[in-house]
Chains A and B, each alone.
Chain A
Amino acid sequence: MSHAATTVPGHDQSHPELGFIRRYVFSLDHKVIGIQYIVTGLLMALVGAALATLIRLQLGWPERTWPLLAQLLPKGYAGGVMAPEFYLAVVTMHGTIMVFFFMSYVLVSGFGNYLVPLQVGARDMAFPLANMLSFWIGALSALLMIASFFVEGGAAAAGWTAYPPLSAVATAVPGSGMGQTIWLLSMAFFIASFTLSGLNIVATVFSVRAPGMSMWRMPLTVWSYFIASILGLLAFPALTAAAVMLLFDRHAGTSFFLPAGLVVGGRHLTNSGGSPLLWQHLFWFLGHPEVYVLILPALGIACDIIPAFTRKPIFGYRLSVWCLVAVGALSMVVWGHHMFVSGMSPFTGEYFSIATMTITLPMTVFGVNMLASLRGGAIRMGVPMMFSCAVLALFGSGGLGGLYLGNATADMQLTDTYFVVGHFHMMIGGVTLMATFGGLHYWFPKMFGRMMNETIGKAHFWLTFTPFFIIFFMQHFLGIQGAPRRYYAFTAYDFLRETRIQNLVVSSCAMVLIASQSLFVVNFVWSLFRGAPAADNPWEATTLEWTTSSPPPHDNFGQAELTVHRWPYEYGVESGDRDFADQRVPPGRVPVTA
C-alpha cells in the first residue's frame, strides 16, 4: 500500500485563542469531541446501570415490595411492586442505552475520535465541522432517548430490537405509544451522528496520515476503527430505512410490517399483508455488523495495550489485520443467524450457520494471536493490562457460546433464553466493557495529563470482572435449563422456580458489580484533579500519541515535523537505556524490525 502524502497535513499549527464555548462546547478539536463522547457515554452508562439494577431487583427478589422505589417511580412501582409493562420498558431501554449510547459512544465515537488522528499522525479529523455536528446530533439523540421516559405511556417497551407488531401498533402496550415514536426518532439521529463520525474516521485514515505512515504501519486500534467505521457506514442505513417504514406504519396507516388479522385491545386492525419478518431482516442487517462495530475496536484497544505491558511486539500483526478485514466482510452476510426460529427455509438456515461458523476462523486466529502475544513477555500487570486480559478471557469464553448460537439446530433450543443473554453480555457487554476500562486507564494520562490511581484501579478491576463473569457465565446455564429472557415473573412458572437461587446469586453479583463502579467514578474524578502528573509516555509505548505531550497541544504534535519510520510495535529492541523505539525513531538510531 502506498505511503501517505509527503507533507504534514496543512492544518493550522498555531494555538488559536478560543473562548470557552468554542474550545470546550462547540469544539472542532477531535480530542475535545472524543472526550465529550466519552463523558456522554459514561453518563448514559449510569442510566443503563440504574435500569439493570431495577431488572435484577425484580428477578432476584421477585416477591419483595420496594417502598422507596414506589416513591421515586410511582408509575412503575405502584404499591411498591414493579409493573410488568414497566419491566418491559426498563429491559428495552437498558439494552438500547448500553448498546447504542454507552458502548457506541465511548468505545467507537469517543476513543475513535480521540485516538485515530493522533495515531495516524494527523493534526485533526478530515472534517472537523462534521465531527462537531456528529457529537451534537448524538447528544440530541441521547437526550431524546432519555426524554422518552417522561412521555405519556413511558419509554419504548418492544425490546432493543423493536420487533413489530409490538413496536408498530401504538396501542399494543403503554410504551408502544409516544415512547416508541421517540425511540425511532432518537435512533435516526443516532445513525446520522454515527454516519458523520464514521465518514470522518475513514477519510482521516485514508487521507491525512503523516508522512511515512503507510497502512501497514497503522496500529491495530486504527485498523479496527477503520473497519468498524466502514461496517457502520454500510450497515446502518438499513435501520434508517426500517425506522422510516415503521414510522409510516405507526402514523400513516401503511402496512410494511403489519400483517392482516391483528386484534389489539379488542380492536381489529385494518392492516394487511405486511411482514414483521421484513423488520427483522432489516434490523439484523444493521444489528449483527453493529456487534462487530463494537467488538473490533475493543480488540484493537487490547492489542495496543498488551505489547506495552509485555514489552514484546504483538504476535502476527499482518495476519491480525487480515482477520479484521475478513471478519468485517463476513459480518455483513450472517445476520440471519438471529432469525433461525422465524420460519426460514432450512437451506437458508444452513447457509447462515455455515457463514457464521466461517467467521469463527478469523476470530479464533485473532484471539490466538493475542494469546501468543503474551507468551515470553516480561509482563507488567498494570490496570490496563488486567483489563486487557479480561478482554481475552471474555472473548474466549463468550465466543464459545457463539458456536452454539450460530448453529441453527442448537440455536432453536437456546434462542430467546438466558443463554443468549449470557452470550451477548460476555461479548458486546463484557469484551467491550473491559476494553473501555482498559482504554480509559491506558489513555487517561494522555487525555488529562494525570495518572489514574493504580490501587483503586485494581480493586475496581477485581470487583468488576469477578461478578461480571459469574453473572453471565451462570446465565448460560439458566438458558440451558430453558429460562426464557424478558420474563417478568419467572416464579409464575413451575419449571423456572428451581432457578430461584441462581437468580438470587446473579442479582447479588449484579449489585456488587454495579456498586463497585462507584470506585471507578471516584478514581476518574479524583484523578482528574489530584492524580499524579503524567509523563508524555508513562507506559513506554511506541505509537505516535505517546510522542507528544500529555495532554497533546491543539494541533496534536506542535511545530515539530512528523515522519513515521517504523511499524507500531517496536518492542524488545536495544535503544539506549530503553527497550522500545517509537514510530518516529529513525532507522539509523534503531534498526527497523518489521
Chain B
Amino acid sequence: MQLALEPELSRREETVRLGLWMFLATVAMLFAAFASAYLVRRGGSDWMRINLPPVLWLNTALLVAGSGALEAAHAVGARRRWLSASAACGVALALGVGFLLGQLVAWEQLLSAGVDMPESPHSSFFYMLTGAHALHVVAALGVMLWTGLLTWTGAGRRQPRRWAAAMHSTRTIWHFLLGVWLFVFALISLY
C-alpha cells in the first residue's frame, strides 16, 4: 500500500501550509532587505572584494544533497518503506549538520587569513549573510530532527498523515533555505 504523495489536505493542514508560506515570505523579505543593502553599499568607493573560501562550494553541495536526501525520504516513506525513510532522514540531518560545520570552516579560514568582519564591506556582508542564513538552517534542522524522530520511532507507520505533514513542512523549509543560499552565494560571489 502506498501513501498518496499529495493527499487531499485537511482544513488544518491547509492552514499550516499557508502559515508556513507566509512565514517564509517574511524570511524572503528579510534577505531581500539585506540584498538591497548589499547592492547599495556595493556602490561605495571603499568596496574591496575578499577571496571567498572554496569550501563554500562543498557546503553548497551538502545543502543540495540534503534536499535530495529529504526527497528520497519522502518518496520511500510514501511507499511505507520506513527503514529506508529513517536512513534517508538520518543522511539529510547529517548533511545539514555538515553544511553548518562547513560554514564554520569557511569563517575560520577567513579569520585565519586576517579577514574579519570590519575588514571590508564585502566581508561584513559575507559574515552577516552567512550568519543569518545559518541561524535559519539551525531552526530548520530542529524541524528536520522532529520529522526524523517521527520516522525513527515508528510514528509515521501509526500516523501516516501526521508524518506526511511534518515531512512536507521540512522539505518546504529546507528547499526554501537552499534557494536562499543559492541566491546569497551568487550575490556575494558574482557581484
Contacts and interface: CB of A to CB of B under 8 A. Distances in A.
Interface in A244-295: 244-245, 248, 252-256, 260, 272-275, 278, 281-282, 285
B29 interface: yes
Contacts of A237: 26-27, 29-30, 32-33
A448 interface: no
A55 to B, nearest CB: 32
A203 B11 contact: no
A199 interface: yes
A244 B128 contact: yes
B5 to A, nearest CB: 22
Contact of A203 (B18, B25, B29, B128): B18
Contact of B26 (A200, A233, A281, A285): A233
Contacts of A206: 15, 18
Contacts of B29: 233-235, 237-238
B132 interface: yes
B47 interface: yes
A203 B15 contact: yes
Contact of B37 (A9, A202, A241, A260): A241
A254 B117 contact: yes
B54 to A, nearest CB: 25
Interface stretch (B38-46, B61-69, B83-91, B93-101): B38-46
Given A208-B11, A275-B40, A202 B22 contact: yes
B15 A273 contact: no
Contact of B11 (A5, A200, A273): A5
B119 to A, nearest CB: 9
B26 A242 contact: no
Contacts of A238: 29-30, 33
Contact residues on B (Cβ < 8 Å of other chain), bracket: 20 to 34
B41 A256 contact: yes
A277 to B, nearest CB: 8
Contacts of B118: 252-255
A128 to B, nearest CB: 12
A237 B11 CA distance: 29
Contacts of B15: 126-127, 203, 206-208
Main secondary structure of the interface of A (DSSP, over half): helix
Contact residues on A (Cβ < 8 Å of other chain), bracket: 35 or more
B51 interface: no
Contacts of A130: 19
Interface string A439-453: 000000000000000
B152 interface: no
B83 to A, nearest CB: 33
Contacts of B45: 273
A252 B22 CA distance: 32
B41 A274 contact: yes
Nearest to B28: A237
Nearest to A126: B15
Contacts of A563: none
Contacts of B160: none
B47 A273 contact: yes
A255 B22 contact: no
B124 A199 contact: no
A136 B36 CA distance: 32
Contact of B121 (A199, A273, A285): A273
Contacts of B34: 241
A349 to B, nearest CB: 17
A199 B22 contact: yes
Contacts of A195: 23, 26
A272 B45 CA distance: 9
Interface in A199-243: 199-200, 202-203, 206-208, 233-238, 240-242
Contacts of B25: 233-234
A245 B37 contact: yes
Interface in A492-534: none
A281 B40 contact: yes
B124 A248 contact: yes
Contacts of A200: 19
A199 B37 contact: no
A10 interface: yes
Nearest to A240: B30
Given A202-B22, A203-B18, A254 B124 contact: yes
B108 interface: no
Contacts of A272: 46
Given A126-B15, A253-B118, A255-B121, A241 B26 contact: no
Contacts of A234: 25-26, 29
Contacts of A255: 46, 118, 121, 124
A51 to B, nearest CB: 30
Interface of A: 5, 7, 9-10, 126-127, 130, 195, 199-200, 202-203, 206-208, 233-238, 240-242, 244-245, 248, 252-256, 260, 272-275, 278, 281-282, 285
Shortest 8 CB-CB distances between A and B: which pairs? Answer: A273-B46, A241-B33, A253-B118, A237-B30, A273-B44, A237-B29, A207-B15, A238-B33
7 contacts: A206-B18, A207-B11, A207-B15, A237-B26, A240-B30, A278-B41, A281-B36
Given A241-B33, A241-B37, A242-B33, 13 more contacts: A203-B19, A207-B11, A233-B29, A238-B33, A245-B128, A248-B124, A253-B118, A254-B118, A273-B45, A273-B46, A273-B47, A278-B40, A285-B33
